[in-house]
Amino acid sequence: MRIIGLTGGIGMGKSTAAGIFRRLGVPVFDADLAVHRLQGPGGRAVAPIGEAFPGTLRETPRGRMVDREALRRAVLGDPARRDSGAPAATSDRTTPNRTTTDRAVPDRAMPDRAMPDRAALNRLERIVHPLVRDEERRFLARARRRGLPLVVLDVPLLFETRGEGRCDAVVVVSAPAAVQRVRVLLRPGMTPERLDAILARQMPDAEKRRRADHVVWTGLSRHATQRAIRALVRRLRTGDGGPRRRGARRRSRAAPGAVTPRSAAPRSAAS
């Protein structure tokens, strides 16, 4: 079974790409969704988070769950440090040292200039990160039992957590910066200042592309993205998608404007 990592910055089309993989019959593990399940009613992270961060749980008809706003306050520390007029952030990345478990603190609730309590964040990571990895292992075990040839791990912080080492190949979704800005600024509540703050926290797109085995350019059209991923899936299913990352690496060299080597970004910025 081949394990494909999928990642990309805000507004680059990762969710769209994951949906295309699913429609092509490739199972996708969604790390963000796993965090939400773990913190939801009956989730395995609820009790340990409540013990480590008193006052961060709330009761629902379905049982106790993590109050994400309360958890955010606990991890960010003194709320007086926050600028109440600052817009909230929705980044898929913050700093290169962040881990997947930082998603346990909802970025969309985090003011742009808020600084986390590093000790509290580390404590949260120690709770959530092993649980997310366990969910991932269960997903992979089920896929192996079914004899599936190909699966995707959709992990926003794949490179930051060195998660590429668990993958046979990594796909990065990318688009021209102008297209990225248009997409993100169309989101409710988004502002140019807020977007700039988000981008300042993320690993640069160029660095993601440099580390990728395959780059899917999403700035042409949805149809072009679908065509590119369909071609890539065919290659991956036949074993022509590059060697395991711990060995020699080979860049994807599909048709221009589809799945391309990192250096060959399409010229068109149309979406």
Q: What are the binding residues for ATP?
A: 11-16
Strand partners, 3: 151
Query: Could you write out the DSSP letters of every residue in 162-222?
Result: TGGGG-SEEEEEE--HHHHHHHHHTSTT--HHHHHHHHHHSPPHHHHHHH-SEEEE-SS-H
Task: List the end-to-end C-alpha distance of the chain, in Å, as a whole number.
Answer: 34
Secondary element (H or E) of residue 69: helix 68-76
DSSP-derived 3-state class of residue 34: helix
Residues contributing to the annotated binding site? 11-16
Q: d(Cα 269, Cα 145) in Å, to the nearest integer?
A: 42
Residue position matching structure tokens 């606990």: 74
